[in-house]
Amino acid sequence: MNEETLFSKIVKGEIPAEILYQDEQVTAFRDINPQAPTHILIVPNKIIPTVNDVEETDEALLGRLFIVARKLAEQEEIAEDGYRLLVNCGRNANQEVFHLHMHLLGGRQLGPMVSRPRR
């Protein structure tokens, strides 16, 4: 059993968040520090720390993240203009919370996919 995470506590309602969607597998809530007009985190209810920990048996669960992302994009009325789905993994991607999550970002032109390296 993995240790509790900030997001597993949000899933269980122990820490407040603006929850937009929840089912038996997945929870979605607004990011506390939004980087775009729409910034939603979609997380598996089960704790998977990073993409490195994903297993074959997680296939349907991970697919569910995309289904929920599509529904929320429609609900937020950003589907037509477009949006970005992003999953950080580990140190080089600056992953902060070790409970796998998909960022749904939209509502403005999001610019280049990654920042340029500093000189």
Residues that bind ligand AMP (CB under 6 A): 6, 17, 29, 31-33, 41, 88, 94-97
Is 101 designated active site?
yes
Asked if 105 and 78 count as a contact pair (C-beta separation under 8 A), the reply is no
Asked if 27 and 72 count as a contact pair (C-beta separation under 8 A), the reply is no
| Least distance CB 58 / ligand AMP (angstroms) | 18
Among candidate residues 39, 99, 101, 103, the one labeled active-site is 101
Give me the phi and psi of 21, to 5 degrees please.
-160, 140
Q: Determine the Cα–Cα distance for residues 59 and 79; give it in Å rounded to an integer.
A: 24
Identity of the residue, 17 or 48, whose beta carbon is nearer to ligand AMP in the bound complex:
17
Identity of the residue, 30 or 71, whose beta carbon is nearer to ligand AMP in the bound complex:
30
Active centre residues (catalytic): 101
